[in-house]
């Protein structure tokens, strides 16, 4: 195969992706019908394993209950490129009218991970037919547990996902980007995530005699307010950060002062420094409020993701290949967001980038936000994502091999 930058190579890749679309749709719809929650993706893993073996990929053993590492080894020596797709669904009851809607009640691929897996499988299928011209190794990382911190990226890395890898590519479908387009951004793109629990310990008593107790509910309310104020008054306002509490648990009866309250929260930031400072101050401020009220606070960090930082060199490959494949296509500038993604864990160790794959199509209702029970993805995007990944892999390997 000629260098990917030669114009005649890109039309061939696009043609292969279009021919493959029907198979990809079948893969994607099967995965959509049977979503599984984080770290419970047993049937998903079995299905993916069956497909990649049929594509003549080598399955690498890992010491995890779910997840898959599969390799395509070219017939010429060269470096290793990785492609990552996440596997888990969400605890969402699907409310679409799709004929292939979820058959697992209360579970749904409402974030597009079924599309990610189908794109990765399609990329493997095309590259496997180009193996004789492949100067290196392509490793496909099908990762469990992206939706549940501490996430599945680090366990996959511990099981060899990044061994000898020089560059990694990932994707995420985006319902704000039109089908046919992609989104790119250099540097910080998604926020760090620190999920934490705060347990407020007070002293129980009768509701009519509060002076004899330490009301953990009242103290918890002060803690929430104080932490929100630290975001607005103690953190540099030009540094994007946010702290949100999603759950509060405490108390046993209306006439009993609660002795314990649990606050479940998440802290987000766009830089490592801001994320660490935010966590430190949550502990300091919350503890100070509790001490002032004769209460005590424990803080437990449940899981953490670093900020997702795309490497410009990897983005240049994606941009060059997209513009070659789709000369009339549009590349949007992905805005920075405080949503988290444990693809960031891979980017801490090797160069790489995650691009946004546009799936928005109002005519078919593919315009609902991530995690919505009405979330729909435009399957026409499969061709775009697959051809772009194939071209990007070949571009990198051809350049390095020379």
Query: Given the structure tokens 């891979």, which residue do they identify?
Result: 346
Residue 258 forms beta bridges with which residues?
A: none
Beta carbons of 324 and 12 less than 8 angstroms apart: no
For residue 313, the tally of other CB atoms under 10 A from its CB is: 13
Report angle CA 240, 241, 246 to the nearest 5 degrees.
Answer: 140
CA 177, chain centre distance (Å): 17
Pairing mode of beta strands 351-360, 165-178: parallel
- CB burial of 42-58 (b: ≥16 within 10 Å; e: otherwise) equals eebbebbeebbeebebe
Among the listed residues 50, 48, 22, the one whose alpha carbon sits nearest the alpha carbon of residue 34: 48
330/355 Cα distance (integer angstroms): 13
Any idea which residues carry the catalytic annotation? 305, 379
DSSP string, 356-376: EEEEEBGGGTBTPPTT-TT--
Beta carbons of 81 and 136 less than 8 angstroms apart: yes
34/372 Cα distance (integer angstroms): 17
Q: What is the CA radius of gyration of the chain?
A: 24
Q: What single-letter DSSP state applies at residue 25?
A: H
Burial class (CB within 10 angstroms; exposed 0-12, middle 13-18, buried 19+) of 103: exposed
Residue 122 forms beta bridges with which residues?
A: none
């Amino acid at each position: 195969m000629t260098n990917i930058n030669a114009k005649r190579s890109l039309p061939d890749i696009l043609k292969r992706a279009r021919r493959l679309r029907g198979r990809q749709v079948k893969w994607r719809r099967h995965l959509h019908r049977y979503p599984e929650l984080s770290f419970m993706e047993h049937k998903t893993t079995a299905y993916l394993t069956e497909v990649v073996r049929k594509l003549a990929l080598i399955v690498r053993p890992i010491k995890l209950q779910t997840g898959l590492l599969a390799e395509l080894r070219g017939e010429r020596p060269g470096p290793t490129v990785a492609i990552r797709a996440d596997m888990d669904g969400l605890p969402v009851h699907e409310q679409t009218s799709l004929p292939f809607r979820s058959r697992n009640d209360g579970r749904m691929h409402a974030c597009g991970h079924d599309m990610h897996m189908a794109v990765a499988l399609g990329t493997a299928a095309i590259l496997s037919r180009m193996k004789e011209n492949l100067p290196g190794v392509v490793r496909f990382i099908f990762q469990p547990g992206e939706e549940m911190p501490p996430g599945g990226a680090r366990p996959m890395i511990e099981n060899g996902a990044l061994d000898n890898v020089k560059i990694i590519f990932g994707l995420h479908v985006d319902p704000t980007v039109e089908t046919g387009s992609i989104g790119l951004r250099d540097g910080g793109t998604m926020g760090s995530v620190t999920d934490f629990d705060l347990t407020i310990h007070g002293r129980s008593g009768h509701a009519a005699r509060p002076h004899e107790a330490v009301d953990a509910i009242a103290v918890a309310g002060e803690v929430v307010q104080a932490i929100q104020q630290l975001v607005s008054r103690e953190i540099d306002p030009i540094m994007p950060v946010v702290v949100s509490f999603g759950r509060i648990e405490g108390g046993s009866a209306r006439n009993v002062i609660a002795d314990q309250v649990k606050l479940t929260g998440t802290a987000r930031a766009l830089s490592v420094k801001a994320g660490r400072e935010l966590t430190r101050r949550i502990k300091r401020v919350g503890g100070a409020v509790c001490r002032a009220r004769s209460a005590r606070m424990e803080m437990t960090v449940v899981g953490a993701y670093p900020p997702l930082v795309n490497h410009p060199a990897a983005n240049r490959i994606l941009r060059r290949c997209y513009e070659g494949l789709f000369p009339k296509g549009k590349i949007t500038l992905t805005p920075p967001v405080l949503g988290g993604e444990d693809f960031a864990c891979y980017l801490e160790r090797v160069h790489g980038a995650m691009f946004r794959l546009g799936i928005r199509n109002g005519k078919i209702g593919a315009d609902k936000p991530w995690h919505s029970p009405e979330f729909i993805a435009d399957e026409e995007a499969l061709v775009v994502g697959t051809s772009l990944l194939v071209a990007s892999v070949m571009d990198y390997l051809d350049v390095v091999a020379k």
